[in-house]
Structure 1
């Protein structure tokens, strides 16, 4: 079993929760989903810049300890009203597949160039730094998932 299989297994336990009202906090979200099983991770997303900086983005991800718990949570919570808004609960892999089906990636040639010559060098440095940070994070995630796989394989051997 390789690292890609491990990532797929995580997607079967990881739920996308969308259409969250801004009044719903991380604590409330965990309380809402904890009756369905053991939550092993939670990613509550925030705006990091612009006028909404520091405010919730309106969606989050929750990962359960097994697929069955995630399926029950999805079944019970999808469409349930929270602060007057129906929750959208899907497996994280379903969210990605639905997004790409309805909004196919744009071709690079269609992107308008908005930077000026004077700011292009600093913009390129910022872009390069962001790309490097993303690559480092992906590498760390891959190493973590491979380490987890090795630990699980070690547990099965004993």
Structure 2
């Protein structure tokens, strides 16, 4: 546990902890995506677009929970705020799903790359886009400035 705390402290000092933890959970979401794609495609013999859609749904649900709770530690008050945050998450994930499908089409149908190779390559593009979307548009941290809070309560 001491090594973990030192590692985390070092990354926090360098302002890299959030990126590291995102890549860790993003890696797990990628595993969820690839495994469900392979199962749908190979075990259930679904075509690649349907397999890709199923894998997207599974990985998006996994990613929302992990991003909210552990990566960005987003706090929402009430169901409406949670629904708004989830709606933004889905909106931007649909954008990256479009990128995913376009890359898959390019690699599989145009360049004739194997399905799993195309899926792995495509996930790199998707993970980078999703981090940018999550960081910039979805899980914004709200900072409370103590001086303003103190000054307004004393008046």
TM-score in terms of structure 2 length: 0.26
Between Structure 1 and Structure 2, the one with more helix by share is: 2
**Bigger relative CO (Cα 8 Å, ≥ 6 apart):** 1
TM-score in terms of structure 1 length: 0.26
Between Structure 1 and Structure 2, the one with more strand by share is: 1
